[in-house]
């Protein structure tokens, strides 16, 4: 299925590999900044809202053009993994004039779009088949009904938050971290014991006034989508980096790939991820951006910091004068 709402060619920054060839020949040209980095960056995967996209937030430090220059020089394969739907995604790509990946996952990781040789995107039905095969007994309608019947305090989110591989809910009333953890545990038990849907996963996103819970097939989470994509490109874990900020990103940030949580992440996400890092020994693999030289660590600044601290690019990028000097 082709979607007509595609970015205009007038602004598109092409992926370095628009045909989708995964050979990576010539993917890491010699650095123009002197000392060679310790690692070769073959791939970069990222969330969008509050990670790459900064909105009107005053913490944005002007680092996005620097990040785009890094991508142009290092030429990694790209993938965006976002909770947005396709139309909303296109609006964001147009606003920020981003490089365009060959693969984009929308609606968390449940819908995959592939870019063809002519530059247009088509929805990939093979991803839906893979989710069905990997998560036997998945039935979104049954999951919604059973959870509403048996888990107190759940409410369905609007129809635009639902799809055949996404059952999305809000926790009514008190939704502090302890309450959310209890509800997640109850849902997980119901999925396994009553619905025999062992490979379904529950991910949560927290806002100031709500806690959202999404039930997804394992391959429809951000970590699942990232793993499928990395496997297809025959990437080893140390050859890519993932960047994120929120609750829906936690599973991908803790998946064992080099990762960075940008500094503007909310406290609940930082706390959850800190606990997972300690439990699983991921402190050096999943780092928290805190600021480096001119970088303040928020949004694209945190992504650049992550690339530096993971050894993919030179520290001199953090001294670029286009970045607003840290106070």
The class of domain 13-109+221-319 in CATH terms is: alpha beta
How high is the pLDDT of residue 175?
A: 65
Q: What is the phi/psi pair of residue 191, to 5°?
A: -60, -40
**Integer Cα distance of 264 and 169 in angstroms:** 25
Q: Which two tokens stand for residue 13?
A: 């920054």
- Per-residue pLDDT of the chain (327 residues), as tens digits, is 444 445 433 344 555 444 344 333 333 333 445 566 778 999 999 999 999 999 999 999 999 999 999 999 999 999 999 999 999 999 999 999 999 999 999 999 999 999 998 999 999 999 999 999 999 999 999 999 999 999 999 999 999 999 999 999 999 866 678 888 899 999 999 999 999 999 999 999 977 678 999 999 999 999 999 999 999 999 999 999 999 999 999 999 999 999 999 999 999 899 999 999 999 999 999 999 999 999 999 999 999 999 999 999 999 999 999 999 765
Q: What is the dihedral of CA 299, 301, 302, 306, to 10 degrees?
A: 140
CATH top class, domain 135-218: alpha beta
Residue 232, SS3 per DSSP: helix
Q: So where are the chain's domains?
A: 13-109+221-319, 135-218
Give the torsion through C-alpha atoms of 186, 171, 82, 318, to 10 deg.
-100
Joined tokens for residue 53:
């996209």
> What's residue 9's pLDDT?
36
Cβ neighbors of 117 (< 8 A, separation 6 or more) are 18, 19, 20
Rounded to whole angstroms, the Cα distance separating 294 from 62 reads 10
């Amino acid at each position: 299925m082709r979607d007509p709402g595609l970015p205009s060619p007038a602004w598109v920054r092409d992926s370095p590999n628009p045909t989708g060839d995964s050979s990576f020949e010539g993917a890491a040209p010699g650095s123009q900044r002197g000392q060679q980095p310790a690692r070769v960056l073959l791939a970069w995967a990222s969330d969008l809202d509050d990670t790459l996209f900064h909105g009107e937030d005053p913490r944005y430090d002007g680092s996005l053009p620097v990040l785009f220059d890094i991508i142009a020089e290092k030429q990694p394969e790209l993938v965006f993994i976002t909770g947005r739907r396709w139309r909303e995604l296109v609006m964001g790509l147009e606003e920020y004039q981003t490089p365009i990946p060959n693969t984009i996952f929308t609606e968390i990781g449940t819908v995959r779009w592939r870019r063809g040789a002519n530059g247009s995107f088509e929805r990939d039905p093979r991803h839906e088949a893979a989710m069905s095969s990997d998560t036997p007994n998945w039935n979104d309608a049954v999951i919604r009904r059973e959870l509403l019947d048996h888990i107190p305090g759940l409410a369905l989110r609007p129809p635009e938050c639902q799809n055949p591989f996404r059952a999305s809910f809000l926790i009514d009333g008190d939704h502090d971290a302890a309450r959310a953890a209890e509800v997640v545990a109850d849902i997980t038990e119901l999925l396994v014991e009553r619905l025999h849907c062992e490979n379904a996963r529950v991910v949560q996103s927290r806002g100031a006034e709500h806690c959202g819970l999404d039930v997804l097939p394992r391959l429809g989470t951000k970590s699942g989508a990232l793993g499928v994509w990395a496997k297809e490109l025959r990437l080893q874990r140390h050859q890519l980096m993932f960047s994120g900020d929120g609750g829906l990103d936690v599973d991908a940030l803790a998946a064992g790939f080099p990762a960075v949580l940008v500094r503007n992440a909310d406290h609940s996400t930082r706390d959850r991820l800190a606990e997972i890092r300690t439990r699983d020994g991921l402190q050096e693999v999943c780092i928290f951006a805190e600021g480096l030289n001119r970088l303040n660590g928020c949004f694209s600044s945190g992504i650049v910091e992550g690339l530096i601290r993971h050894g993919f690019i030179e520290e001199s990028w953090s001294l670029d004068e286009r970045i607003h000097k840290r106070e």
